[in-house]
Amino acid sequence: MIAEGQPTFGASSVVASDQRRLFARALDRPSLPALVGLVVVVLFFGVQAPELLTAAGVAGVLDVAASLGIGAVAVALLLVAGQFDLSVGVVAVASSLLSAILIGHAGWATWPALTASLAASLAVGVVNGVLVINTGLPSFLVTVATFLVLQGTALAGFEAVTGSTQVTGLDRATGWESAAAVFGSSAEIAGGRFQVSVLWWAAATALAGWALWRTRFGNAVFASGGARTAARELGVPVRGTTITLFCLTATAGWLIGTLALLRLESVLVTNAGLGAGIDYVVVAVIGGCLLTGGYGSAVGAAVGALVYAVARQGIALAGWDPRWFQALLGVLLLVALLANGVVRRRLKAVPRS
């Protein structure tokens, strides 16, 4: 309908040489800095602690990375949508405490108890999401509040109900065996004991990656974080997407808690600390998510979890003081933030209209 041969306005990207394009394409991948970081930490700790690269060492790394990665993948989606969630760690603790009370104290069968704690976790996610959407408060503060409420309630409530700080004998409950097979089993491969949580982590990453890049939901996630006004103007369901994402992080928290509960067959009341919640965000940022939203990837978050796990296990195996890990994590985070800043400037180099 509009005639061809019109004056063109800035003929989009000038086609550069293929090599440059390949380089630019690689830079466009949010997970690139994390991959580089992974290579660096593997090389460094491979030299410092060679047992890291044995089957047992790899199994240890994957075990740490799995539970962290499940949370980080969900948090990464939320960060892409421009929101924060610091309550994942406490949802993990609280949901496993709830499952333990229902199974060990109230005598429920395993699967109904797990379903009930999943429902409770989802309720936390809905509350987080609705509060953030309806009040317009920063999700950082809202989820810190949720974290405090949940931590206090779960720990005090657990002791008030059970009268002790521990519940044991959970494995006598009906359905425990089948649940343990799904969430708590492990397999010995080439001398290393690999936990089933690694499969859950891989599945979560694959599903999140697919959803982010190949579904309408993923488009809505990107747009909600990167251009909220535009998303609203085009009828993208920003509210529903945000609430769904908070439910996803809560579900990830439940999965982390359930995996630990079914493997350890007991639960100990401990103060999780805010650090556990921040770790997921740190890992997602190392994985290339921008804190401002609109950019990031699930695979990147998974790679970020691997970086974290290699560094932690490496320091332990090298026999260093484990407190060095925090310092190293801080450095990794800073490097990731700077690298992400470069990406961000590159993407936004052209003036916005």
Partner 1 sequence: MSPEADGRAPAPLLPELELRRLSVHYGSVAALSRVSVALPAGEITCVLGENGSGKSTLVAVLSGLRAHDEGQLLLRGEPVRFRSPRQARAAGIATVWQDLAVAPLLSIWRNFFLGAEPTRGVWPLRRLDVDRARETTVRAMARVGVPRVDPDQPASTLQAGARQSLAIARAVHFGARALLVDEPTAPLTVAQQTLLLQAIVAARKEGLAVLLVTNNPRYAHLVGDRFLLLAHGSVAGTLTRDDVDAADLMRLMAGGEEFSALTSALTALHSELGDR
* Binding interface with partner 1 (CB under 8 A): 1-4, 6-13, 15, 28, 210, 214-216, 218-220, 222-223, 226-227, 229-237, 294-295, 347-353
Q: How far is the CB of 340 from partner 1 (least distance, A)?
A: 12
Q: How far is the CB of 287 from partner 1 (least distance, A)?
A: 16
Q: How far is the CB of 229 from partner 1 (least distance, A)?
A: 7
Our CA angle for 153, 248, 80, nearest 5°, is 115
Which one, 25 or 172, has the nearer CB to partner 1?
A: 25
Which one, 60 or 82, has the nearer CB to partner 1?
A: 82
Q: How far is the CB of 119 from partner 1 (least distance, A)?
A: 20
Over its C-alpha atoms, the chain yields an Rg (Å, rounded) of 22
Q: How far is the CB of 251 from partner 1 (least distance, A)?
A: 15
Pairwise CA distance, residues 256 & 230, whole Å? 35
Pairwise CA distance, residues 126 & 258, whole Å? 20
Which one, 28 or 51, has the nearer CB to partner 1?
A: 28
Q: Is residue 123 a contact partner of residue 306, using CB atoms and an 8 Å limit?
A: no
Q: How far is the CB of 5 from partner 1 (least distance, A)?
A: 8
Pairwise CA distance, residues 272 & 157, whole Å? 15
Q: Is residue 266 a contact partner of residue 172, using CB atoms and an 8 Å limit?
A: no
Which one, 145 or 347, has the nearer CB to partner 1?
A: 347
Which one, 18 or 321, has the nearer CB to partner 1?
A: 18
Tell me the H-state helices in the chain: 18-28, 32-48, 55-80, 88-100, 110-135, 139-162, 176-183, 197-214, 216-226, 228-233, 238-264, 273-286, 298-317, 324-347
Which one, 128 or 224, has the nearer CB to partner 1?
A: 224
Q: Is residue 277 a contact partner of residue 86, using CB atoms and an 8 Å limit?
A: yes
